[in-house]
Amino acid sequence: MSSILESSKGIIKEARYAIILEIRELAYLGKYPEAIMKFKSQIETLSQQLGKNQGDQLLYQEWSKLVNDIKEELDLTQTLFDFTKGNSNNQQQPSPQKPKVVQECPEFHDDNRQPRLPFNQIPFQHYQRENTSPSQKANQFQISPPKQKAQDPDEIFFGGLRGGNDGKKANNNNNNNGNNGNNLNHNPSNYFNNNNGNNNYNRRPTNNPPPKDPDVWDPPSKKPDKPKQSQKDAKSNNIFKPQAQPQPQAKGNQRKEYDKGKKNNVAGDKKPVEGQRKTYHDHVYPDGRGPDSDLIQMIEREVLDLTPNVSFEQIAELELAKDTLQEAVLLPIFMPQIFTGIRRPCKGVLLFGPPGTGKTMLAKAVATTGKTTFFNVSACTLASKWKGESEKLVRLLFDMAKFYAPSTIFFDEIDALGSKRGDNDVKLSYNRRVKTQMLIEMDGVSGASTGEERKTVMCLAATNRPWDLDEALIRRLERRIYIPLPSVTGRKVLFEINLHSLKLSPNINWDQLVNRSDGYSGADIANVCREASMLPMRRKLKEEGGFQKLQQKYEDISNVVDVPLEQRDFEEALKIVNKSVSSEYLKEYENWMKDFGAG
């Protein structure tokens, strides 16, 4: 029975690829109406097939998944079709100040809501681009007909959306100050001096206020900065072997600069003070405030992380992932001139695997090593907290990343944004809009094939549920790296890293502890060490009759309670802290890795 199901799953999977690929080919040729017709007829046929399988619950589920995927592709094609229609209309009326609603896209209508503008209309509504001749303006979103079949499979579907640049924008951008992807000297202070109004990202507000979306939640009130977890410099305890010292980090200055800037600008009510670094907000709204001020401030406050301060040495094991990230992300940042043409940098990297295995740390290490501006986006927060504003937020985020380039945008829990079709229609429509915006933005930053001057912006994403990801997104995240649970060696290093600053008894049997922590993630081992570190202190306090008695007895009690950790403390901690990853999930990761992994 299960073999019938397995073989049916295989057939369904092949059918999915065959249908999607065939139809994308049509879309690539610009034959959107034909592609849409074809999708609709396939959905009809598949729905009949679905009806036949109603008796078998598992098969029925598989078929409905396929139908849903095809519907999702249809929706995406429809949206892109609308997008291209919208742009071609823009070319006839290239006046950004007086935009017309080119076409109302059904996706942007919700019951009881006012019609929303198609997403491609929004930038023109709010901004005009500077240093752009009228013909170039008209050209900006031109759909370039394919001259030959693209080597990059993504270009089959989305290549035409990258803007009619064919090298034209490169000339347009020559008057910059060198703070772009071609600048090998990544002096962090340069990131904030990019005030020359030099490029296509230099947008200014028009006087038109944005249309009010009734579904938009009110922007957040000012909140204090999230406390950042600081990584202490490793002072090895030499549990197993001498430990590499982490690289010294450039601390504080950027943050201070940023805070200084925040006082003047993030509040958004004051004009920038001369001589101080220019934030994206100053850059877009030199007069102090504009329609998107609150959102921009929110990104600067909650997403922009100027000091991720994690080095690769602080991360245990994961050598393959580190090498791949260095090759796929760091080399193109350091040598953009080499990574052109067929060697173009990948559009994005997906880190997938069980929770707590170091995915976020890897992303931060990439940003720290590449000295890039780090945007740490929790996709989950974006999806829930900024519902209604999320598409705009995605667009602003990428614009900001280009402004502060070289930048790394890290989407944690990307499945919250880029998941497949859900059951809830409202959620679906919203989800699709955000996802489509993301896909378009991601295509926009893969500068090499467009001939556009490179503003190096790297997209990294992480998920614990790769199987939930939409295929269009998976294709853009071209390198997909499995971040597994730590091996024996990795667990040893993790104990070392976590205990480097603690007093340890010489009689601890490390091999036994490492074996007992089989199946624990890096975060689990950190929790074990944290728990173990408290036990001797609690014991000592109890022995001495409590904190108050100790206080009466000793002047400085910190030395008294700082007792070395013993074997029994770790054993006790291992009983308290259980592993957080179930072994069933591990199999699923491996299967997904076999099907989609691309390290």
For the CB of residue 486, give the shortest distance to ligand ATP in the complex, in Å: 6
Is 418 annotated to bind a ligand? Reply is: no
Is 357 annotated to bind a ligand? Reply is: yes
For the CB of residue 527, give the shortest distance to ligand ATP in the complex, in Å: 8
For the CB of residue 463, give the shortest distance to ligand ATP in the complex, in Å: 8
Determine how many CB atoms are found less than 10 A away from the CB of residue 301.
16
Is 406 annotated to bind a ligand? Reply is: no
The single residue among 168, 322, 359, 492 that binds ligand ATP, judged by CB under 6 A, is 359
* Strand locations in 314-422 (E): 348-352, 373-378, 407-412
Q: Does 358 bind ligand ATP (CB under 6 A)?
A: yes
Q: Does 355 bind ligand ATP (CB under 6 A)?
A: yes
For the CB of residue 295, give the shortest distance to ligand ATP in the complex, in Å: 25
Determine how many CB atoms are found less than 10 A away from the CB of residue 263.
11
Mark the segment that binds ligand ATP (CB under 6 A) among 117-125, 198-206, 358-366, 376-384.
358-366
The 10 Å CB-count burial string (b at 16+, else e) for 392-415 is bbbbbbbbbbbbbbbbbbbbbbbb
The answer to whether the CB of 562 falls within 8 A of the CB of 539 is no
Q: Does 318 bind ligand ATP (CB under 6 A)?
A: yes
The single residue among 523, 557, 586, 598 that binds ligand ATP, judged by CB under 6 A, is 523
The answer to whether the CB of 395 falls within 8 A of the CB of 445 is no
3-state SS string for 282-323:
HHHCCCCCCCCHHHHHHHHHHCEECCCCCCHHHCCCCHHHHH
| Spatial distance between the Cα atoms of 372 and 398, rounded to a whole number of angstroms | 14
Q: Does 73 bind ligand ATP (CB under 6 A)?
A: no
Mark the segment that binds ligand ATP (CB under 6 A) among 39-47, 169-177, 521-529, 550-558.
521-529
| Spatial distance between the Cα atoms of 304 and 283, rounded to a whole number of angstroms | 16
Q: Tokens in use for 550? A: 């100790």
For the CB of residue 493, give the shortest distance to ligand ATP in the complex, in Å: 7
Kindly give the residue spans of alpha helices, DSSP state H, lying in 152-292.
153-158, 168-172, 253-261, 280-284
For the CB of residue 413, give the shortest distance to ligand ATP in the complex, in Å: 7
Closest to ligand ATP by CB, 95 or 230:
230
Q: Does 417 bind ligand ATP (CB under 6 A)?
A: no
Q: Does 517 bind ligand ATP (CB under 6 A)?
A: no
| Spatial distance between the Cα atoms of 394 and 383, rounded to a whole number of angstroms | 11
Closest to ligand ATP by CB, 445 or 462:
462
Q: Count interface residues toward ligand ATP (CB under 6 A).
A: 19
Closest to ligand ATP by CB, 44 or 588:
588
Is 100 annotated to bind a ligand? Reply is: no
Q: Does 481 bind ligand ATP (CB under 6 A)?
A: no
DSSP 559-579: HHH-PPB-HHHHHHHHHHS--
Q: Does 514 bind ligand ATP (CB under 6 A)?
A: no
The answer to whether the CB of 3 falls within 8 A of the CB of 58 is no
For the CB of residue 524, give the shortest distance to ligand ATP in the complex, in Å: 8
The single residue among 73, 107, 302, 412 that binds ligand ATP, judged by CB under 6 A, is 412
Q: Does 246 bind ligand ATP (CB under 6 A)?
A: no
Q: Tokens in use for 91? A: 């070319």
Is 564 annotated to bind a ligand? Reply is: no
3-state secondary structure of 206: coil
Sign of the C-alpha dihedral, residues 376, 379, 384, 388?
positive
Closest to ligand ATP by CB, 232 or 575:
232
Quote the radius of gyration of the chain (alpha carbons, Å): 27
| Helix, strand, coil percent content, the chain, rounded in steps of 5 | 55, 5, 40
Closest to ligand ATP by CB, 396 or 493:
493
For the CB of residue 315, give the shortest distance to ligand ATP in the complex, in Å: 4
For the CB of residue 503, give the shortest distance to ligand ATP in the complex, in Å: 20
- What separation in angstroms does the CA of 71 have from each of 29, 31, 66? 20, 18, 9
For the CB of residue 205, give the shortest distance to ligand ATP in the complex, in Å: 36
Q: Tokens in use for 231? A: 């990584």
Query: 504 pairs with which residues across the strands?
Result: 565
The single residue among 331, 526, 561, 586 that binds ligand ATP, judged by CB under 6 A, is 526
The answer to whether the CB of 231 falls within 8 A of the CB of 315 is no
Mark the segment that binds ligand ATP (CB under 6 A) among 109-117, 309-317, 340-348, 466-474.
309-317
Q: Does 484 bind ligand ATP (CB under 6 A)?
A: no
- What separation in angstroms does the CA of 103 have from each of 91, 119, 161, 589? 14, 11, 17, 42
Q: Does 533 bind ligand ATP (CB under 6 A)?
A: no
For the CB of residue 159, give the shortest distance to ligand ATP in the complex, in Å: 32
Q: Does 464 bind ligand ATP (CB under 6 A)?
A: yes
- What separation in angstroms does the CA of 153 have from each of 142, 158, 167? 20, 9, 22
Is 308 annotated to bind a ligand? Reply is: no
Give the residue at shortest CB distance from ligand ATP: 522
Is 358 annotated to bind a ligand? Reply is: yes
Q: Does 316 bind ligand ATP (CB under 6 A)?
A: yes
Determine how many CB atoms are found less than 10 A away from the CB of residue 56.
15
| Spatial distance between the Cα atoms of 480 and 493, rounded to a whole number of angstroms | 25
Q: Tokens in use for 118? A: 């198609």
Is 353 annotated to bind a ligand? Reply is: yes
Q: Does 462 bind ligand ATP (CB under 6 A)?
A: yes
| Spatial distance between the Cα atoms of 202 and 179, rounded to a whole number of angstroms | 14
Q: Does 497 bind ligand ATP (CB under 6 A)?
A: yes
Mark the segment that binds ligand ATP (CB under 6 A) among 53-61, 68-76, 198-206, 520-528.
520-528
For the CB of residue 460, give the shortest distance to ligand ATP in the complex, in Å: 11
The single residue among 120, 121, 173, 360 that binds ligand ATP, judged by CB under 6 A, is 360
Binding-site residues from annotation: 353-360
Which residues contribute to the site for ligand ATP (CB under 6 A)? Answer: 315-318, 355-361, 412, 462, 464, 494, 497, 522-523, 526
Binding-site residues from annotation for ATP: 353-360
